[in-house]
Structure 1
Amino acid sequence: MKEIKQQFSTSDVEVLSNDRAFDGFFKIDRYRLSHRLFKGGWGPELQREVFVREDATCVLPYDADTDQVVLLEQFRVGALGHNQSPWLLELVAGINDAGETPEAVGRREAIEEASIELGELRPICQYLVSPGGTNEKIHLYCGQVDASTAHGIHGLEHEGEDIKVHVVQASEAFEYVATGRINNAASIIALQWLQLNHAILRRDWSKQ
């Protein structure tokens, strides 16, 4: 397999200015920059706005004994205007605080959002959410869980969270992805990874 070698790095970008354009619940930075071109030389000065978010961690809780996954349902304002319900089925997720490892975030959020404790956390991948407009990176895991402990409504009231816990068969969750019932990136990636690694996790995590 032929390797694609990267021609450029951050040293091939000249940042002329970087200012905070908006500083509210979310933040937006405005850059003036130029970068080298594949054909040689430097491109024109560009202005780009970047939606600034800290790294986040998402976890798909999976019970290998019952072959079930834990999904969370909550309101998402970004889904308004897309001809669908803005209450989405998602993973356990949270922003990484300074000095906190992604694994610690996943375990903390599992307790806060679903009142569940995770066993082994198996890394899936790290990915940039939408690098054309935001710096956010997701650390994605599959987490070992006893699905019988997952139920109820949870979340931190002072953060406006209202989260309903669902436990479904893995095959049903896969179907949700296929039909578009689940249409957010982290959940799709994690569930498709589970489909590919289903037999391995059942072998490694099942007590039966």
Structure 2
Amino acid sequence: MIDRVSTPGIDVPDFRGRTGLDQMGRDLTGNPDVVVKDVELLAAAWHVLRRTTLERRRSNGEWVTEQRETYDRGNGATLLPYDVERRTVLLSRQFRYPVYVNGHPDGLLLEAAAGLLDDDAPEVAIRREAEEELGITLGEVQHVFDVFMSPGSVTERLHFYAAPYSPADRTSAGGGLEDEGEDIEVVELPFDEALAMIDDSRITDAKTIMLLQWAALRGPFRS
């Protein structure tokens, strides 16, 4: 008799208590020209890598079989705090290995504060991240837009927010959660300097560029 082998993340819980990670996408019915045939779990450490086999009807009517790998890290939220009176914005700087290994000089990326939702509503999550990373307690926040950041391979949808702040809203030093390995520098910049940093590549993070340009074109610093 051959014993059945259990696979963490599929039929027994992985270290995060998850099962059924090979089921994502099998029940999709929104597009009649796409039929999911199989989903393989390739990796399930903190986030999840899947390989999906699907049949897709092309625009000429031909059906083709394709495989796509998707990286599922959950959805997230990001925030641009701004001070109109002092004409400043609040950003963060932290080490990002993926950019370091792909040509960034030191991997210390200047960016808008952000974090995963972790089953919270987007606004709840971004208030949490503002306190943990930036040390500010937010009042009213504005939802700006939602964006798929890397739709060719990453499933994440990022929820963008902006909110006013003042020095009185700085209720802690920020810096992130030490027990989660976060080591974040809080960076306050004049808004005009932040825009200039896009032009000379000192700011190269997509979500940050999008929020700064929104602030200039349609947000609190529009002409």
What TM-score does the superposition give when structure 2 sets the normalisation length?
0.80
Mapped partners of 2:183, 2:210: distance in 1: 24
Residue type matched to 1:50 in 2? T
2:91 match: secondary structure:
strand
2:150 corresponds in structure 1 to: 130
C-alpha distance in structure 2 between counterparts of 1:10 and 1:181, whole Å: 41
Runs of 4+ residues deviating >3 angstroms = 147-153
> Is 1:107 the counterpart of 2:134 in the alignment?
no
**Correspondence 1:1-208 to 2 at 5 A:** 9-43=30-64, 45-81=65-101, 82-98=103-119, 100-147=120-167, 149-150=169-170, 152=173, 154-198=175-219, 201=220
**1:56·1:137 contact (CA, 8 Å) conserved in 2?**
yes
How many angstroms apart in 1 are the aligned matches of 2:221 and 2:137?
19
Match of 1:4 in 2: none
User: In the alignment, is the contact (CA less than 8 A) between 1:62 and 1:147 conserved in 2?
Assistant: no
Distance in 2 between residues matched to 1:22 and 1:186, nearest whole Å: 27
Q: Could you say what the CA RMSD is over the residues aligned between the two structures, in angstroms?
A: 1.9
Deviation for aligned residue 1:31: 0.3
Post-superposition shift, 1:114? Answer: 1.2
Unaligned runs of 5+ in 1: 1-8, 204-208
- Inter-CA distance 73–131: structure 2 relative to 1 (3 Å threshold): same
Write the distance in 2 (CA, Å) between the matches of 1:161 and 1:89: 15
1:202 offset after TM fit, Å? 5.9
Which residue of structure 2 lines up, in the alignment, with residue 6 of structure 1?
A: none
Report the alpha carbon displacement of residue 33 of structure 1 after superposing the two structures with TM: 0.6
Deviation per residue, 1:40-98 (Å, 9 max, x gap) = 2312x112110111110000111112110001000001112314220011111110122
Runs of 5+ unmatched residues, structure 2: 1-29
User: Percent identity over the alignment?
Assistant: 34
Cα pair 1:34 1:46 within 8 Å, conserved: yes
> Does structure 1 retain, via aligned residues, the 8 Å contact 2:140–2:164?
yes
SS at match of 1:119: coil
Q: 1:144 Cα shift?
A: 1.4
- Contact 2:94 2:109 survives alignment (8 Å): yes
Ranked by relative contact order (alpha carbons within 8 Å, sequence separation 6 or more), the top structure is 1
Deviation of 1:157 (Å) = 1.0
Q: How many pairs does the alignment contain?
A: 192
8 A Cα contact 1:58 1:91, kept in partner: yes
Helix, strand or coil at the partner of 2:58: coil
| Residues 202, 79 of structure 1: alpha-carbon distance in 2 compared, 3 angstrom cutoff | closer
Change (3 A) 1:182 1:148: farther
- Is the 2:135–2:174 Cα contact (8 Å) retained in structure 1? no
Amino acid at match of 2:188: V
Structure 2: distance between partners of 1:17 and 1:91: 37
3-state SS in 1 of match to 2:146: strand
- Whose helix fraction is larger, Structure 1's or Structure 2's? 1
Q: Distance in 2 between matches of 1:129 and 1:12?
A: 24
